[in-house]
Structure 1
Amino acid sequence: MTVHRQPGTVITDHTFAVPLDHSSPDGERIDVYAREVVAAGRERESLPWLLYLQGGPGFGSPRPLGRDGWLPRALDDFRVLLLDQRGTGRSTPATRQTLPTRGDAAAQAHYLSYFRADSIVRDCEFIRRQLLGEDARWSVLGQSFGGFCAVTYLSSAPEGLREVFVTGGLPGLDVTAEAVYRAAYPRIERKNAGHYARYPEDVETVRTIVRRLRDEAVSLPGGGRLTPEAFQSLGLMLGTGTGSHTLHYLLEYAFVTGPSGPVFSDSFLSQVQQHLSFAANPLYAVLHESVYGQGSVSPHGTGWAAEAVRGEFPRFDAERALAGDAPVLFTGESIHPWMFTSDPALAPLRETAELVARREKWPDLYDTRQLAANEIPVAAAIYHDDMYVDTAHSLATARAVRGLRTWVTDEFEHDGLRVSGGRVLDRLIRLARGEL
C-alpha cells in the first residue's frame, strides 16, 4: 500500500481484485481501487468508516486536495473510503482503448452488463469484509448515481450498513427510462427559462451560434463535429449552482473577427470540447440509461429513451426555434445515438452502446419489500426542482423506505454536497442520528 500526506490528511491507496461476476467468485477478476483518507494525527485511531459512492455512472471518485469540500466534516467523524467504481479512475478501465480486448461488440456489451449498481454494491461488500471484517458495518454517502447505488445497497445487503446519507440521488423504484426523461424535459425547460431570464442577451447569441452550426461544418479541436444538437447538450451545465453563469461566460467567447468576418474563436471551441468530450468518462454515455433498467419494470430494455421521448417536446427542436423567434433550448442530462458518431472517444463504442440499449431483462435493482422493512438510519437531501433527478420520483421513494428522513431544499442545486463546505453532509448526519 502507498501512503501519502496532504495538508491535514493521510491518504492510503488500496486495490482489490474482485470477481467480475460475483455469482462466479472463482471466475475472472478485475481491479477496484479505493483511496482511504483520514485526518492527520488520527490515522491510528479506531474510527468508523464512511464509504463514498460517486455520481455518474462512469466517474471516478473525487481526488482530494487536503481538507477540501465536504471532507473536513466527514473527517471529524470518520475514516473515509473514496471508491473508484468498477471501470473508472484507477480501477480496471473500460474505454474505447481497453474494451476491444474483450472481443467484438457483443462480448463488450456482455462485459459491461456487470458494471451497474448491483455489481458495484457487491464490490462494496467484498471490500468491506476485507477492510473491516465480516461483522463490522460502515456508513455510506451516495451522491446522485451514488445514491442510486446506496438504495440498491439497502435493498440487497443492509447487513453491511450502519447508516446511509443520500444527496440528490433517490431513484424512482419502479420508473422506466422513458418516464425519467418524460419528467426531465419540462425541468430542463425551466432551467433554460431561468438562464435566459438571467442573461437575456444570450437568446440572440445562441440563435446565431446554432444558425451557423446548421449552415456549415464545424470541427472541434479533438476532431469531433460540433452540430446544433451537440451544442444544445451544453445545457448539462444548467443543473449546477454556477452552471448558468459558466455557460454565459462560455458564450461570451463564441466569435472573433478574422479576415473573412466573424468565426468561432479557438478559445470557445476548446472550452466546448472540454465540456462535450466523453474521453475521460465513456461509461457515462454507454451505461447511462441502463441504470434505469429493471426487468420487472421494463422487460424489453431501455432503448434510447431520451431520444425517443425528445420528440414529445418540440420546443427543443432547434430548427423550429430558428424558424420563428423562440429561444433555442439547451438539453440536459441525456444520451443520444448521434453522440457515438460525433465524439471520437465514443465512435468505436457505437455498436456496443447499441447492444447495451437493446439488452432485455436487466436484473432488478431495488427490493421494495426490503426497503419497506428497512431498519438502517437513512437521511436524504432532495434538491427542489433538481434538473438531474426528479423530485417527485425521489419523494415517492422516500415514502417507500421505512424510516427515511428527508431534507427538501432549494438552497442548493444538484451539486450541493460539493459546494456547501460540509453543510449538506452535516445536516444529513444529524438527521440520520435523530439530532434534528
Structure 2
Amino acid sequence: MAPVVARLVSQSKPYLVPGKLLVKEFWFEVPLDHDNPDGTTKLKLFARSAIKYERPIVEPSPSEVEQRPYLVYLQGGPGMGTSAPQDSPLSKYMLDRGYELLMLDQRGTGLSSTISANTLETIGSPQEQADYLKFFRADTLVKDSEAVRLCLTKDYPAEKKKWSTFGQSFGGMMTLTYLSFAPEGLRECFITGGLAALDKGPGDVYQATYRRCIARNQAYYKKFPGDVAAVKWIAEKIIELGGEKGVPLPAGGFLTVRRLMTVGLNFGAHGGVDRVHSYVTRMKADLDQFGKFTRYTLNELEQDNVWDTAPIYTLLHEPCWCYGPGVAGRWAAERVGQSLEEYQWLQADWAGPASLGEKPLYFSGEMIYPFHFETCSELIQLKEVADILAEFDGWAPLYDMRQLGRNEVPVYAASYNDMYVDPDLARVTASRIRGIKVFETNVLFHNALRSNPDDVIPQLLKLRDDTID
C-alpha cells in the first residue's frame, strides 16, 4: 500500500525570533490508522520550522527562496512535545550547515492531538481508549513522519526529498524503527542516548537498568551520606502524616513513600543527584520547623517529572520495549524490582523504613509502576486503561533486524554512562546496524544533548564530516 501523504491544513507566514531564526508554523492532518487512511478519525499534527536568517540588501522573491534539506527532530519521552526552535541546541549547530530544522510534535504530545485524561474521555470506554492509544507507538509515529515529509517535499528536487533525523532518547528508538521500515525517506540519522535493545522485552531491559539505578543511588549516598538517615526519617513521617493513602498533594495526587522514591528518575541526568538532595533538604527542613510539609515543597514534588502532564510517558512506557507480537509489559518494572533486595519497598508486605537497619532506601529510576495510577491525579483516572495496555501482547514489530543489518543510511550515535538506556545493550544494538559510527563516553549522562550540547553535537558532526582510519 502506498504511504499516506499528510494534508497541509495551514502554514503561517515566516516570523523572526531572537537568534536570527526565521520560523514558520504548520498544521497537518493524518489518519489515526495509516492502514485505514479513509477512516473517519483524523489527527492534527503541529510543527515549527526554522532557518538561519541573514537580512539581505534586497529581500528575495518567493520563487528565489532556497529549498533547504530538512532535519527533523525526533523528541524523547515518549509523550513530550518539542521545544520552540530558538530553545533547541540544534539551532546553534545545524542551521549553519544548510538544514531547515523541523520541530514536529509527535501525535498525542505538545499541540498534536494532545493526550490527557479529559481528551481520552471523548474516545469512549477504557477499552476503547486503550485501543486508541495503541496507535501512538513508534511504528505509527514513523508513518506520521513520512506522511509529513512527503507533504513538505512534494515540490522538491529528488536530491532534497529525503530528510535527516536527530533522535534523542525515545527519538533514537524511533530512529531505529524508521531505519527498519522506511529507510527510503532518510538521508542520514543522528542518535543521542537512544540505542535501545532490539530484541529485549521490558523484563530484560529493567534487569539492566535497575543495576544502573543502584549504582547511581550508591553515588548519591556517597556524596550525601547524611541522606541515608534523612530519607528514611522522611519516609517514616510520610507514613505517619499520610496514613494508608498518603499525604494529599496540591493538584489532587498523594505523596507516599513509593512516590517519593520515584524522584530518583533525576539520577539519570546531569545535576540530578543534587536535585534529589535539595528535595531531601527541603523536606527535612519543613518537618524540623513545622512537623509537616509546606505547600511549596509538596508542589515541587508533585511537579517533579511528567507523570500528570505527559500521560503517554507512563501509559506507553513499557510498550516501548515490547518489540513485537507476543511481548507484553505486565508491569515488568514492578515484577523485576520486587525480586531485588534494594527495592523491598515495592513488596506488598514491606515492613517499612525501620526494617532496613543501616541500609539506605533506594530510589527508582525510569520505571513505571501500578502505584503511579493511584498517586498521580491525572493518572488515577487512567488506571483501567493502563491495566489493559499492560496485558496487551499483540504489538506490531518495532524493528527489522535484517534491514538494519543491510542498512545503507549513514547513522551517527552518541552513547553515554546512561541510567535509562543501558550502554552494554546499546553496544549490542550498534553492532547490528550496518555502517553506524558511535561516539561513546562515560562522562556524560542521558540529558547531555540539552545540558552539555557543546560536548555532544560537535562529536557527532566529526563522525559525519571526517573519516575513521
Unaligned runs of 5+ in 1: none
Tell me the residue number matched to 1:39: 52
Q: Is the 8 A contact 1:166 1:379 kept in 2?
A: yes
Q: Superposed, which structure 2 residues align to 1:5-404 within 5 Å? A: 5-7=16-18, 8-27=20-39, 28-41=41-54, 44-64=65-85, 66=86, 69-77=89-97, 78-133=99-154, 135=158, 136-217=161-242, 218-256=247-285, 261-275=290-304, 278-296=307-325, 299-318=326-345, 319=351, 321-323=353-355, 324-384=357-417, 386-404=418-436
Q: Deviations over 1:34-64 (max 9, x none)?
A: 1112112289433221110011111101234
Deviation at 1:404, TM superposition (A): 0.6
Q: What SS does the corresponding residue of 1:264 show, helix, strand or coil? A: coil
User: Is 1:255–1:265's contact at 8 Å kept on the other side of the alignment?
Assistant: no
> How far is 1:6 from its partner?
1.3
Once the two structures are superposed, residues 374-427 of structure 1 have per-residue CA deviations (whole angstroms, 9 ceiling, x without a partner) of: 00100110002x000011111101000000111111231001111223441222
Structure 1 pair 128/358, CA: closer, same or farther in 2 (3 Å)?
same
What is the deviation of 1:433? 3.8
Task: Give the Cα separation in 2 of the matches to 1:257 and 1:124.
Answer: 48
For 1:321 and 1:188, the matched residues in 2 are separated by: 19
Task: Look up the equivalent residue of 1:242 and give its one-letter code.
Answer: G
Shift of 1:269: 1.2
The residue identity in structure 1 corresponding to 2:27 is T
For 1:68 and 1:119, how far apart are their aligned partners in 2?
25
Q: Is the 8 A contact 1:70 1:418 kept in 2?
A: no
Bigger RCO (CA 8 Å, 6+ sep): 1
Q: Distance in 2 between matches of 1:409 and 1:285?
A: 29
Contact 2:201 2:327 in 1 (8 A): no
| Equivalent position SS for 1:70 | helix
Alpha carbons of 1:83 and 1:258: their partners in 2 closer, same or farther (altered >3 Å)?
closer
Distance 1:154 1:355, change over 3 A: same
Distance 1:110 1:431, change over 3 A: same
Q: Distance in 2 between matches of 1:256 and 1:153?
A: 49
Q: How far is 1:277 from its partner?
A: 5.5
| 1:426 is the counterpart of 2:437 | no
Q: Partner of 1:253: helix, strand, or coil?
A: helix
Q: State the Cα distance separating 1:14 from its structure 2 match.
A: 0.8
Local SS of the residue matching 1:413: coil
Question: C-alpha displacement at 1:192, in angstroms?
Answer: 0.5
Q: Is the 8 A contact 2:34 2:140 kept in 1?
A: yes
Corresponding residue SS for 2:166: strand
Q: Distance in 2 between matches of 1:259 and 1:335?
A: 32
Give me the whole-angstrom Cα distance separating, in 2, the residues matched to 1:17 and 1:257: 50
User: Which residue identity is paired with 1:81?
Assistant: L
Q: Which has the larger displacement, 149-158 or 341-350? A: 341-350
Kindly state the Cα deviation for residue 321 of structure 1 after the two structures are TM-superposed.
5.0
Contact preservation (8 Å) 1:69, 1:419: no
How far apart are 1:432 and its partner, in Å? 2.9
In 2, distance between residues paired with 1:331 and 1:190?
Answer: 11
Q: Is the alpha carbon distance of 1:300 and 1:416 closer, same or farther for their aligned partners in structure 2, counting shifts above 3 Å?
A: closer
Residues 354 and 435 of structure 1, relative CA distance in 2, 3 Å threshold = same
Which residue identity lines up with residue 302 of structure 1 in the other structure?
G
Deviation at 1:199, TM superposition (A): 1.5
The structure-2 alpha-carbon separation of the partners of 1:261 and 1:49, relative to structure 1 and needing over 3 Å to count, comes to closer
1:361 and 1:258 mapped to 2: Cα distance? 48
Alpha-carbon distance, 1:293 to partner: 1.2
Q: Deviations over 1:240-262 (max 9, x none)?
A: 01111111122221145689952
One-letter amino acid of the counterpart of residue 73, structure 1: Y
Q: Secondary structure of the residue that 1:195 maps to in structure 2?
A: helix
Distance 2:192 2:66 in 1: 28
- CA displacement, residues 116-142 of structure 1 (integer Å, 9 cap, x when unaligned): 000000001000011123851011000
Q: Please, what TM-score do these two structures have when normalized by structure 1? A: 0.95
Larger CA deviation: 29-38 vs 251-260? 251-260
CA 1:201 to 1:141, structure 2 compared with 1: closer, same or farther past 3 Å? same
CA contact under 8 A between 1:88 and 1:94: conserved in structure 2? yes
Does the 8 A contact of 2:171 with 2:194 survive in 1? yes
Distance, in Å, in 2 between the alignment partners of 1:191 and 1:257 is: 26
CA distance in 2, matches of 1:154, 1:204: 49
Q: C-alpha deviations, 1:203-230, integer Å up to 9, x for none? A: 2221111111123311111121101000
Moved more, 394-403 or 44-53: 44-53
- For residues 276 and 417 of structure 1, the distance between their equivalents in structure 2, rounded to whole angstroms, comes to 18
Provide closer, same or farther for how the CA distance between residues 239 and 54 of structure 1 changes in structure 2, counting only shifts above 3 A: same
Question: How far off is 1:267 after superposition?
Answer: 2.3
Take 1:415 and 1:387, find their aligned partners in 2: how far apart are those partners?
A: 11
Aligned to 1:214, the other structure's residue is in SS state helix
Larger-gyration structure (1/2): 2
Report % sequence identity. Answer: 37
Structure 2: runs of 5 or more not aligned? 1-10, 346-350
Question: What secondary structure sits across from 1:89 in the alignment?
Answer: coil
Higher mean C-alpha deviation, range 400-409 or range 22-31: 22-31
Distance in 2 (CA, whole Å) between partners of 1:81 and 1:68 is 11
The residue aligned with 2:8 is: none
Moved more, 77-86 or 258-267: 258-267
Cα separation, 2, equivalents of 1:116 and 1:129: 20
Task: Pick closer, same or farther for the CA change 1:264–1:193 going to 2, 3 Å.
Answer: same
The whole-number CA distance in structure 1 between the counterparts of 2:267 and 2:427 is: 22
